[in-house]
A = this chain, B = another copy of it.
């Protein structure tokens, strides 16, 4: 089963990388952007057939390794 996760910086955490991309896009003529925020995306292929169990396992991985919960949020967006 493939589980997809998005990890984003929390709302109040500054995102300098997003800011640079914003500036680059503006420099290319895209001048109606308010904000750009960057995050990470993971696709984990797990040997598990039951959705609930796969999601639980992946959530554990997020907590233990993939996300820094002090400054980041994780969200499981898909499992199939």
A57 in contact (CB, < 8 A):
yes
A69 in contact (CB, < 8 A):
no
Question: Which of B35, B41, B66 is A40 in contact with, Cβ under 8 Å?
Answer: B41
Q: Is the CB of A38 within 8 A of B39?
A: no
Give the chain B neighbours of A35 by CB distance below 8 A: 43-45
Q: Is the CB of A66 within 8 A of B21?
A: yes
A52 in contact (CB, < 8 A):
no
A6 in contact (CB, < 8 A):
yes
Knowing that A8-B41, A36-B43 are A-B contacts, what are 14 other residue pairs whose CB atoms are under 8 Å apart, sorted by A's residue number?
A6-B6, A21-B66, A28-B64, A30-B57, A32-B46, A34-B45, A35-B43, A35-B45, A36-B42, A38-B42, A38-B43, A39-B41, A39-B43, A40-B41
